[in-house]
Amino acid sequence: MGNKTIYLDHAATTYVKPEVFDAMKPYFCEYFGNASSIYSIGRESKKAVEEAREKVAKAIGAQPREIYFTGSGSEADNWALKGIAAAYKKKGNHIITSVIEHPAILNTCKYLEGEGFEITYLPVDEDGLVSLEDVRNSIKDSTILISIMFANNEIGTIQPIQEIGAIAREKGVLFHTDAVQAVGNIPIDVEKLNVDLLSLSGHKFYGPKGIGALYIKKGVKIASLIHGGQQERGKRASTENIPNIVGLGKAIELATENMEKYNKKLIDLREKTIEGLMAKVPYIKLNGHRTQRLPGNVNFSFQFIEGESLLLMLDMKGICGSSGSACSSGSLDPSHVLLAIGLSHEIAHGSLRLSFGDENTEEDVEFILEEIPKIVSRLRDMSPLYEAVKNKQKV
Ligand SMILES: *Cc1c(COP(=O)(O)O)cnc(C)c1O
C-alpha cells in the first residue's frame, strides 16, 4: 500500500480534464433544455451543440455541417461501414479493410459479410503497415469503400493515410479511417489527407465516454443507423447528449491548442522508456514501427513470460498497463494485431502495452525502468524455458 498510481493505459481511456468537466457542468441542471425546443433554455442547448460542432470541425479541417455526433467511437465506425454499404450497394458490394483494425471495424465487417458483402482484409508487414500496392491491387469495379485505421490502438503504428486516400480518390472509391487513436494526439486535416469519412471518440483525448463523432464529407451519401427524429440533420436520431457533446468540443479544442507541446512530451517519455527497456532487459522485442507510431505508445514482447502475470505484478506496484488491448484482454486468445505482425502465439502472450498521457512524468519513467526489469527477471526465474536458455549460455 501507499504506492502512487502510475496510469499508463491512455489508449484504453483517459480521465476527464477538469476544464472539460467544468464546461459540461451547466448542461446537466441549468441548461437542460431539449436542443429542438423553441424556448430559451432549449436554444442554449442548441447553441452549445453547434459551438461544439464547430470545434470538432476546426480540429480536423472539416466544415461544421460535415460533423455528426454519435454515441461512441464504435457507433461512428459501425455507421461509416453499414451506412456506406447500404447507400452504395447498387454500385457494388466490396469493401477493403485491414487485419489489424479495432473490433468495432472487424466485427462490423463480419456482420456485413453475413449480409452479402465481400470484404478484403489486407495483411500488414512486421511493423504493422499496410502496403499501398496491396491497397491499389485489391480495388475492383465492385469496391465501394476502403476503411483503414489511422493509428493502431495496440502497437501504435501510423498508416500512410494521405497516400491511401489518394489511391481511393483516383479510383473513385470512398475512404473511411478509424482515427479514434489519432485525433487529439497527432495533427489531422481531412482535406489534405483525402479522407471521406473519419471516426473519433471523446474518451481517448480527455473527454467523456459515450460520445463520438463521424466526419462525413459533403456529397457522400450515407444510410442512417439510428432512425427516429430529425436530430443531426435527420441522419442520426435521438435527443442530443448536450453535456457530452460540450465535453467533446472542449476536449478537442484543448488537445488541438496543446498538440505540439503534448506531442513532444509524449515522444520524450516514449523514447526514454523504449531505450531504457532495450538496454536493461534481454530477450525483448519492440512491437510496431520504430518511429512512425503514436507519440505515447510503447509495446514490447517479453520472451519467457506471461503478459497477464506481468500486469498483475505491475499492478502491485501501482503501474497500470495493458497486454495487447483492453478489448482482447478479457479473452485468452493472443491479440490479432500481434499475430498479424508475425509474432508466435507464445511471444504474443508475453506482451505489454504502455500508453502515456498528459499527467505522466519523467519520474514515472524512471520508476517503471526500475520496476519492470526486476519483475521480468523474477517471472523469468520461474520459467523452465528461460532456465534452459540460461544454462545453454553458460556452457
Ligand atoms: C477505443 C477505440 C474505438 C472505440 O471507441 P469507443 O468510443 O470506446 O466506442 C474504436 N477504434 C479504436 C482504434 C479505438 O482505440
H helices within the chain, ranges in order?
Answer: 18-24, 26-29, 40-60, 73-87, 103-114, 132-138, 161-171, 242-257, 259-280, 307-316, 336-340, 345-349, 362-381, 384-394
Which of 255, 286, 314 delimits the end of a domain?
255
Q: What's the average model confidence in pLDDT over 169-191?
A: 98
* Residue entry with cell 465506425: 77
Flag whether pLDDT at 136 surpasses 70.
yes
pLDDT of residue 395: 57
Q: Residue 176 Cα, ligand 1 centroid: separation in angstroms?
A: 15
Q: What's the average model confidence in pLDDT over 106-127?
A: 98
Q: What is the CATH number of the domain that holds 173?
A: 3.40.640.10
3 state SS for 224-286: CCCCCCCCHHHCCCCCCCHHHHHHHHHHHHHHHHCHHHHHHHHHHHHHHHHHHHHHHCCCEEE
76 lines ligand 1 (CB under 6 A): no
Together in a domain, 207 and 231: yes
159 lines ligand 1 (CB under 6 A): no
CB 224 within 8 A of CB 83: yes
Q: What's the average model confidence in pLDDT over 258-275?
A: 97
For the stretch 273-311, what's the b/e string if a residue is b when 16 or more beta carbons lie within 10 angstroms of its beta carbon? bbebbeeebeebbbbbbeeebbbbbbbbbbbbbbbeebb
pLDDT of residue 332: 66
185 lines ligand 1 (CB under 6 A): no
Which of 209, 237, 255 delimits the end of a domain?
255
Q: 270: which residues sit within 8 A by CB, 6+ positions away?
A: 293, 295, 296, 297, 298, 356
Flag whether pLDDT at 70 surpasses 90.
yes
Evaluate whether residue 162 is within a structural domain: yes
Q: CA 62, 100, 340: angle at the middle one, nearest 5?
A: 155
Together in a domain, 169 and 305: no
Read off the pLDDT band of 145 (50, 70, 90).
very high
pLDDT of residue 325: 45
pLDDT of residue 323: 86
Read off the pLDDT band of 333 (50, 70, 90).
confident
Q: Which domain holds residue 230?
A: 18-255
How many domains are contained in the chain?
2
Q: Residue 393 Cα, ligand 1 centroid: separation in angstroms?
A: 44
Best residue for ligand 1 mutational test, from 69, 72, 74 (most atoms within 8 Å of Cβ): 74
Q: What's the average model confidence in pLDDT over 337-345?
A: 96
3-state secondary structure of 302: strand
Read off the pLDDT band of 24 (50, 70, 90).
very high
Task: Provide the grid cell at 101.
Answer: 483494425
Q: Which amino acid, 360?
A: N
**What's the pTM?**
0.96
Together in a domain, 33 and 120: yes
Evaluate whether residue 72 is within a structural domain: yes
DSSP-assigned letters across all residues of 131-184 = PHHHHHHH--TTEEEEE--SB-TTT-BBP-HHHHHHHHHHHT-EEEEE-TTTTT
For the stretch 329-360, what's the b/e string if a residue is b when 16 or more beta carbons lie within 10 angstroms of its beta carbon? beeeebbbbbbbbebeeebbbbbbbbbbbbeb
pLDDT of residue 293: 98
Q: What are phi and psi of 106, to 5 degrees?
A: -60, -45
Strands 284-286 and 297-302: antiparallel
Evaluate whether residue 58 is within a structural domain: yes
Read off the pLDDT band of 212 (50, 70, 90).
very high
Evaluate whether residue 1 is within a structural domain: no
Give the atom of ligand 1 at the shortest distance from the alpha carbon of 104.
10
CA distance 216 to 22: 29
Together in a domain, 170 and 61: yes
Together in a domain, 172 and 223: yes
pLDDT per residue as tens digits for the range 191-202: 999 999 999 999
**61 is annotated as contributing to ligand binding:** no
Q: What's the average model confidence in pLDDT over 322-329?
A: 59
CA distance 392 to 395: 6
355 lines ligand 1 (CB under 6 A): no
Task: Provide the grid cell at 264.
Answer: 513532444
Evaluate whether residue 302 is within a structural domain: yes
Which of 233, 255, 277 delimits the end of a domain?
255
pLDDT of residue 38: 86
Pick the range with the lowest mean pLDDT from 36-45, 203-212, 354-363.
36-45
Read off the pLDDT band of 1 (50, 70, 90).
very low
pLDDT of residue 326: 43
Residues above pLDDT 90, as percent of the chain: 90
Evaluate whether residue 352 is within a structural domain: yes
Flag whether pLDDT at 207 surpasses 90.
yes
Shortest CA distance to 159 belongs to which of 137, 175, 138?
175
Evaluate whether residue 299 is within a structural domain: yes
Mean pLDDT, the chain, integer: 95
Together in a domain, 330 and 237: no
